[in-house]
Amino acid sequence: MGRHGTIAGRKAAQDTKRAAMFTKYARVITVAAKAGGDPEFNPALRTAIEKAKGVDMPNANIDRAIKKGTGELAGETYESGTFEGYGAAGVAVIVEVLTDNKNRTTSAVKHAFDKWGGNMGTPGCVSYMFKRKGLITIEKTDDVDEEALMDAALEAGMEDMNTYDDSYEIVTAPEDFPSVCDALKAAGYKFADQNVEYVPDMEQTPEDQHDIDNLKRMIGALEEDDDVQNVYHNCTVDLED
């Protein structure tokens, strides 16, 4: 989703959704582990494990998800998918899912769009407004020197760096994301967040409060669905409650 709010605000939102996030991260870990169960040689798995640990997912849950992916334990077969559409006020929305029942998930996503004044569209209807980017968030502290961070990130291969009130955001090409993460971690930097996301090129600013409320409800309903992994939008208004 669009970069809004503070690190503290995002952490608070994560706390309220912790149980649901365990389910979502377990699916991501299981799918990533199909390419190999050793995170040292599987960057996607390594990132998924780090994000799961970031929300205090128990190690036993992580290990079980890995074993399901490698076939050591029986488990469901998940299929990835992407849905696109418009929310209230013409806000572009992309929904990423991992599901064991595509029909169920399609119905649930369409229902959320329809219920809150949106319209689920065809593949490609809004994705042209976004680009895939690797994003690494580092909290602003007295221990982090902005110039030193920029130098290290540039040397590692970053594309850009954004500075916010409480954090720095390193932007990379998707293919450079693992190597930039590894280089910054080796340099001693700790991440508040890390992910490859859809970043909007074109933004929309709703003015009507009713539209904003409907957008919040729609995004909330989508994020509460266990099959939904990520929801991205191009709204400039903070839609986190």
| φ, ψ (nearest 5 deg) of residue 112 | -65, -45
Q: Where are the domains of the chain?
A: 7-70
Q: In angstroms, what CA-CA distances link 190 with 45, 46, 66, 153, 195? A: 18, 15, 24, 13, 14
**Residue among 137, 130, 99 nearest 23 (CA):** 99
- Determine contact, residues 137/147, Cβ cutoff 8 Å: no
pLDDT tens per residue, range 69-105: 999 999 889 999 999 999 999 999 999 999 999 999 9
Which residues partner with 119 through β-bridges? Answer: 86
SS3 170: strand
What's the average model confidence in pLDDT over 176-197?
95
Q: How many Cβ atoms are within 10 Å of 71's Cβ, its own excluded?
A: 11
- pLDDT class for 5, splitting at 50, 70, 90? low
Q: What local confidence, expressed as pLDDT, does residue 38 receive?
A: 97
What's the average model confidence in pLDDT over 32-60?
94
Architecture of domain 7-70: Orthogonal Bundle (1.10)
The secondary structure of residue 235, as a DSSP letter, is B
**Residue among 191, 168, 167, 166 nearest 178 (CA):** 191
The token pair that represents 238 in the structure block: 């903070």
What's the average model confidence in pLDDT over 99-123?
97
- pLDDT class for 106, splitting at 50, 70, 90? very high
The token pair that represents 32 in the structure block: 């990533």
| φ, ψ (nearest 5 deg) of residue 146 | -60, -45
The token pair that represents 91 in the structure block: 């806000």
